[in-house]
Structure formats: C-alpha cells, structure tokens
Amino acid sequence: MGEQLQEQRLSEVLKAVSDATRRSILTTLVQEGPLRVTELAGRYDMSLNAISKHIKVLESAHLVTRRTIGRVHLIEADLDPVRAVDAWFGQLRSIWDLRLERLGEVIAKGVTRDERPVPDGNKDDPGPG
Amino acid sequence: MGEQLQEQRLSEVLKAVSDATRRSILTTLVQEGPLRVTELAGRYDMSLNAISKHIKVLESAHLVTRRTIGRVHLIEADLDPVRAVDAWFGQLRSIWDLRLERLGEVIAKGVTRDERPVPDGNKDDPGPG
DNA sequence: ACGATATTCAACCAAATGGGTGAACAATTG
DNA sequence: CAATTGTTCACCCATTTGGTTGAATATCGT
C-alpha cells in the first residue's frame, strides 16, 4: 500500500517544476543558496505575491524549505524529491530496454506477437485499473 | 538563441507527465508496445474521449507518436524527450554539487560569504531576467 | 509608540485543465 | 448501400492555475 501516495507526490513534484518560473527560482536557489522572498522576487518581472505563491507551490512539493528568521523568510532548495522523478524515469527506461531486448529474442526465434509472454507488472499507477 | 524554445518544450514534457493517468498510459505503452486508442481507453475508468485527449497531450509533448492505419490509430511511446528532462535535473544537481564543494573550500579558508566569487551563468531560464 | 519593511491572506479574474456527452467523420464489413 | 467500428470534434462544466491588487500581520529600527 501507499503507492498512490508516492504517485501523488510524484505528480506534485513534476507539476511544480513544469512551470518555467518555478524552475528558474529553483535553479537560482541551487546556484546561490538560500535567499529571501523579496530578493528572489526582485529578479522577476512579476509581483512579489506571484513569486510568494510560486514558492508555496515549490514548498508543498518539498523542493524548497523555509527558515523564518524574524520577518525574513529564507528559502532554500532541496533536491531530494528529484530522486523520485529520476527513479520513475529510470524505471520507465529500463522497462523500455527490457521490452526491446525481449522483442529482439522474439524476432530471432520467429515467434509471433500473440505467442510471446505477457510482460510483468508495473506497480506504480492508478494504472489500467 | 532558442533556449526559451527548449524551456517551452521542457515545460510541455514535464506538464504532460505530471498527470498520473498520462504517466500510466506512457508506462503501459512502454511495456506493451504500440496500442490502439480504444484498447488503451478500455483499461481506464474514463471515457474514450478523455483518454483520446490525454493521448493528444502526450503527442504534442512528443512522448508518443501516432501511426494511422485505416481507421485505427496506433499509439507508440517515444522516450526521447525524457532526455531533456534528465539533462535539466542533471544540470541542477551538478550546480548543486559544485556549490557545496565551493562552500566547503570557502569554509576551509575562512572567507566570509560576501567575499566569495559569484557563481557563473545558468543559460536556461526565463530566469532572473 | 510609530513608521518602514517583509511576507502572507483574501478576493478577484482570465485562461487552462480534466472530465463528460453527443455529433461528425472515416474506414471496414455485410 | 447500410450498419458498425474507431476516433476525433465541438460544446459544456467545474476546478485549478497563474497572475493581479489591497488589506492584514509581524518584525525591525528609531
């Protein structure tokens, strides 16, 4: 159990970085280290509030963390959730390679498509229910 | 030039895979090879049209291609665009590591934060433009 | 205590998203 | 040609998104 939770989190992370502004914020933070909201906002042609919202999106995807010191909120990048993304893509690619490999064997043996074995489970998705 | 175009494509790909249903479709296609729209749709508790739309999203992100044979549309996964995603994450991580490394040196030398060299360019974003 | 600064909250808005339904279109089959 | 099958198109609908502005809240400096 709990795979859908993982799925959910993966969706959240991917959605968070699917926005160019948010990617840029993340890159900036990774490059320069923790920055204040205002400092960050100053670099974009966008209202402070807009940036504040973007930060919150990144925050709930756990791609950034916040350290509040007095009235200043220090925003810091955290690349940990990216590993889940890597894992997913990696798995996808390995399945892909496996299938190609198997397809190669099948062709070599001259087995027809209908006769070849069913590929085994992928334990991730809301999948083909 | 053309980095924003790359950015745009990256956004499209990430957004496409940020939906669990679409990720599942992609995984299924990778596992089982090209499938018809109806076949694909049959696996989800969702209308044929909904799946058709999801496929179109994946298609415009170039994550799947379509081969139309008569009235049948064969949908096939294409993991090529995933490389762009990997590249971005990879770059992000290497910047991250670089900064940590530099930070280590700085600490070792006892230089203050304000004195340390400015990190060099990241040539991707709509960035702190 | 007061004014300035840093940030969020709340409301609003236009546009995009994810879903549904019914009609249209294309190709295959009888 | 008529019926059936595979798929998209055109709408409709509720929700989310990305942005705005203005007010509220909290902290700092004087």
Supply the pLDDT for residue B16: 98
State the fold for domain A3-79.
Arc Repressor Mutant, subunit A (1.10.10)
**Interval B66-108: pLDDT, tens:** 999 999 999 999 999 999 999 999 999 999 998 888 878 777 7
Helix (H/G/I), strand (E/B), else coil: A35: strand
Contacts of A30 in chain B (CB under 8 A): 92, 95-96, 99
pLDDT at A78 over 60: yes
Between β-strands A72-77 and B72-77, what pairing exists: parallel, antiparallel or unpaired? unpaired
Q: How far is CA A63 from the centre of its chain?
A: 9
Q: How far is the CA of A10 from the C1' of D23 (A)?
A: 36
DSSP code for B71: T
Which residues of A touch chain B, with CB atoms under 8 Å apart? 7-8, 10-11, 14-15, 17-21, 23-24, 26-28, 30-33, 43-45, 77, 79, 82, 85-86, 88-89, 92-93, 95-96, 99, 103, 119, 122, 124-129
- Whose tokens are 């992000």? That residue is B92
Going along chain B, which residue ranges are E strands? 35-36, 64-69, 72-77
Q: Return the closest-CA partner of residue B82 out of B31, B27, B20.
A: B27
CB atoms < 10 A from the CB of B121, how many? 8
Question: Could you give the CA distance from residue B45 to residue B31 in angstroms, rounded to a whole number?
Answer: 20
Q: Which residues in B lie closer than 8 A to residue A129 (C-beta atoms)? A: 43-45
Three-state DSSP state, B121: coil
Can you give the distance from the CA of residue A77 to the C1' of nucleotide C16 in angstroms? Answer: 28
**Interface residue of B5, B10, B11 to substitute, partner A, most A CBs within 10 Å:** B11
Measured in angstroms, the CA of A91 and the nearest CA of chain B are apart by: 9
Considering only residues A115 and B98, tell me which one the structure prediction assigns the higher pLDDT.
B98
pLDDT reading at A116 higher than 50: no
Which of B7, B33, B125 comes nearest A99 by C-beta? B33
pLDDT tens digits, residue range B33-60? 999 999 999 999 999 999 999 999 999 9
Contact A31 B122 (CB under 8 A): yes
Closest CA to A78 of A90, A68, A67, A92: A67
The label of the residue with tokens 């840029």 reads: A24
> What is the Cα Rg of chain B in Å?
21
User: Does domain B3-82 bear CATH number 3.90.420.10?
Assistant: no
Are A92 and B79 within 8 A, CB to CB?
Answer: yes
pLDDT of residue B128: 60
The set of long-range contacts for B97-106, using a CB threshold of 8 Å and a minimum separation of 24, is: B99/A30, B99/A31, B99/A32, B99/A33, B103/A33
Q: Is the dihedral of CA B87, B88, B93, B95 positive or negative?
A: positive
Which residues are within 8 A (CB) of A85 and not within 5 positions of it... i.e. 6 or more apart? A10, A13, A14, B85, B89
